[in-house]
Structure 1
Amino acid sequence: MSLTFHWFLPTNGDSRDVVGGGHGTPATATGRDRPPTVAYLGQIARAAENLGFVGALTPTGAWCEDAWLTTAMVSQHTERLKFLIAFRPGFLSPTLAAQMASTFQRQTGGRLLLNVVTGGESHEQRAYGDFLDKDARYRRTGEFLRIVRELWDGKTVDLAGEHLRVEDARLARLPDPVPEVYFGGSSPAAAEVAARHVDVYLTWGEPPAQVAGKIARIRELAARKGRTLRFGIRLHVITRDTAAQAWTEANRLLDGFGPETVKAVQAGLARSESEGQRRMLALHDGGTRDLRSLEIHPNLWAGIGLVRGGAGTALVGSHDEVADRIEEYHALGIDEFVLSGYPHLEEAYWFGEGVLPRLAARGVWRHPDERRGVPAAAQVPFAS
């Protein structure tokens, strides 16, 4: 099975420095010198498509542009790239969401993937009118996905659940293909939803031993329900021709983290209700700013999490070293990698022209266009 790689659309702004935000913290103003215009995001999307990424994740929250609207516009500037749209089921009727997904599939030629985000911060949820506690939000997510999947199956749905109620719900036109559902969460409530409803379980970039434990737990829960899931991981990447060059770039990013910014972001993230965020914070032990002490596993660097909520680790090293770490995660059961880097346009090329050809030579990755019969010489821009 060929590995699948997705890139990231920075709908909160991009920079040569790390742009923070997420999990209840606002996007940091420092370095947001590339606004998330359709023109710029279109550049990133086209680069990702040409280089061999299958899709691109767009985040959700008060700190970034709306993912549905943005990707609908950016999709018109690409041909093959899929869009992994993050959205929160508590903010949208399940019938409307199912209809929107069906429309998106028809208008883009089947290029929608859905990243369901239950929401880990009650204060941000309340700003949108959602006053459920965290465990109740996960139960509602389960009801939401049950309704949506039955609608996509062409059924007429009547459900009076704990949190959601629909009567005589049905779709006039079904999505083709049915969008795959991606989902992440480290709490027991999240694991239950994943095992019962989703196609791909996503984890943030924890060390391999911790990732292996998560995979085993979710896989066992899914098996009890007669289901099999795929697994993916969310990471940043800093890859260069040599390891020294990559660590020099990581150090440059670290030098851009002002002590007061780190302190403020860490204080905000410490209030997070997210179990996944708690696990991310534990990786860098409260805010150390020493470059190599933040290397928590060979080539796995926790420095990004000093100023950014959510995914806070990066693969740092030479192209061969980064390829080695990807194969290490793949051996655990990870088949999909959702990656990003600062700035997202240039880092897409560093990874696409440096790491992907090495993975292809090792026989674990094929360019999506090659699978569709496009000549290999046309697949990687600027490659000789």
Structure 2
Amino acid sequence: MKIFWFIPTHGDSRYLGTSKGARTVDHSYMKQIAIAADQLGYEGVLIPTGRSCEDPWISAASLIDATTRLKFLVALRPGVTTPALAARMAATFDRLSGGRVLLNLVTGGDEQELQGDGVYEDHATRYKTAAEYLTIWREILRRSHEGEDFSFHGESLSVDHAKLLYPPIQKPYPPLWFGGSSEDAIALAADQVDTYLSWGEPPAAVKEKIQRVKDAAAAKGRRLNYGIRLHVIVRETAQQAWQAAEELIQYIDDDTIAIAQQKFKQMDSVGQRRMAELHNGDRSKLEVSPNLWAGVGLVRGGAGTALVGDPATVAARIQEYADLGIDTFIFSGYPHLEEAIRFAELVFPLLPLTLQEKLSQPHLTGPFGEIVANNYTPPKTTVTAEVVSETT
């Protein structure tokens, strides 16, 4: 099991859909979150992409030197960059970070935004282009280890004697991630990517989707890894967690929800449609599965659901998804700095023992916690994996 966090380059707040409680996301703040995630033991961080965000590559690269182990999941954008340039960027990032870059293919779903970036392809054509893009990108990186070049002529993209002189550290190339719910997306995932990423739908829907991807990959003689993207609202008691969920959306008005939902309906993303259909903008239908709350998706595009509950319950829900074959979880919470710390403190000790050992910092010794009365050291708390199994 791998646990990732999120760098909110599109902004951060204590409340959704309002400027109340909002904070500026500058380099100092991004660095605070990255350092916290690195020191707490998160596997990596997802950097979002789109015109509402700071550039993911520059943002992530600026955080290399502030971290030591943290991996950066950054976007590959067919049509926005050329595959040869993206291959050089990936190799450079991988080399400068010591092998800590992961690539997330993003084809886009907002036609207006895509046209602003100079991309005028429809949904099906974008996926055909993406397949050619990945073929070129992967082969340039793969062949760089042997000093070979690569030529390719497709319907949309072509290269002749493309060559990369500085190969990446990770072989044959930094791992490819991708999420998409359409038939075109699943076919592309089965053929070319390494990790398939789902948004946080109810477990039954995620199980069905993963099985479709597994079957498509098996037909091509491939096996993929699987991840899920969720928000999380965890507190020491369930009552506190649900109260925090309600507080997160307490300042959103109906007009703002209507504007957001109308925009989402205009997108050609099947995944976005599935997210919106979980609640259809109805505040009274936000718990779409036990402890799975869709309130974030009232105004936020992309991942719109959160796990809500006390630590044991959240850990049990994580295990429920893990039992479906998911081994990577990308979480976020508002505000992202405080919630990264809270989630690590409350939930990490309840995750599988192998992950607990990985998360621990072996070079640090006690005492742990504040020493009482200048003499008494609080005993170290040990939590075993049985906590999860007892609550599932």
In the alignment, what sits opposite 2:318? Answer: 326
Query: What displacement does 1:381 show?
Result: 8.9
Residues 173 and 381 of structure 1: CA distance in aligned 2, closer, same or farther (over 3 Å): farther
Deviation at 1:369, TM superposition (A): 5.3
Distance 1:207 1:188, change over 3 A: same
After TM superposition, list the pairs within 5 Å mapping 1:210-249 onto structure 2: 210-249=205-244
What residue is the counterpart of 2:15 in the other structure?
17
Other-structure match for 1:24: none
Query: 1:118 & 1:176 partners in 2: Cα distance?
Result: 26
**Alpha-carbon distance in structure 1 between the residues aligned to 2:293 and 2:347:** 18
Q: Counterpart in 2 of 1:39? A: 28
Counterpart CA distance in 2 for 1:375 and 1:120 is 45
Please tell me the residue identity of whatever aligns with 2:127: Y
Confirm or deny: 8 A CA contact 2:77 2:105 kept in the other structure. yes
Kept in 2, the 8 Å contact 1:60–1:87? The answer is no
**Take 2:24 and 2:125, find their aligned partners in 1: how far apart are those partners?**
36
2:250 aligned with 1:255, yes or no? yes
Aligned to 1:127: 116
Structure 2 residues not aligned, in runs of 5+: 371-377, 381-392
Distance 1:369 1:103 in 2: 28
User: SS where residue 210 of structure 2 aligns?
Assistant: helix
TM-score, normalised via structure 1 length = 0.91
Question: Structure 2 CA distance, aligned partners of 1:228 and 1:41?
Answer: 35
1:374 aligned residue (332, 347, 362): 362
Report the alpha carbon displacement of residue 29 of structure 1 after superposing the two structures with TM: 6.1
1:1-384 correspondence runs (5 A): 3-18=1-16, 30-31=19-20, 33-154=22-143, 155-177=148-170, 178-284=173-279, 286-290=280-284, 293-360=285-352, 363=353, 365-368=355-358, 370=360, 374-375=362-363, 377=365
Normalising by structure 2, report the TM-score: 0.90
Q: Kindly indicate whether the alpha-carbon contact (under 8 Å) linking 2:79 and 2:119 is maintained by their aligned counterparts in 1.
A: yes
CA deviation map 1:89-132 (0-9, x unaligned): 21111111000100001111111011110111222111111111
For residues 366 and 196 of structure 1, what CA distance do their matches in structure 2 show?
Answer: 34
C-alpha contact (below 8 Å) 1:13/1:32 kept by paired residues = no
Provide the C-alpha distance between the structure 2 equivalents of 1:340 and 1:381, rounded to a whole number of angstroms: 26
Q: How many residues end up aligned between the 2 structures?
A: 365
Q: Deviations over 1:213-243 (max 9, x none)?
A: 0110001111111111000000000001110
Q: Structure 1 169/31 Cα, relative in aligned 2: closer, same or farther at 3 Å?
A: farther
- Determine if contact 1:237/1:341 at 8 Å carries over to the other structure: yes
Query: What is the alpha-carbon distance in structure 2 between the residues aligned to residue 37 and residue 302 of structure 1?
Result: 28
Higher mean C-alpha displacement, 208-217 vs 118-127: 118-127
Secondary structure in structure 2 of the residue aligned to 1:309: coil
| TM-superposition CA deviations, 1:258-281 (whole Å, max 9, x none) | 111111111111111100001001
Q: Is the 8 A contact 1:54 1:368 kept in 2?
A: no
* Structure 1 counterpart of 2:13, one-letter code: S
Alpha-carbon contact 1:57-1:86 (below 8 Å) kept:
no
Mapped to 1, the partners of 2:186 and 2:317 lie a distance apart of 25
Q: Structure 1 unaligned segments of length 5 or more: list them.
A: 19-27
Give the SS at the match of 2:215.
helix
Letter in 1 for 2:68: E
Q: Secondary structure at the match of 1:89?
A: coil
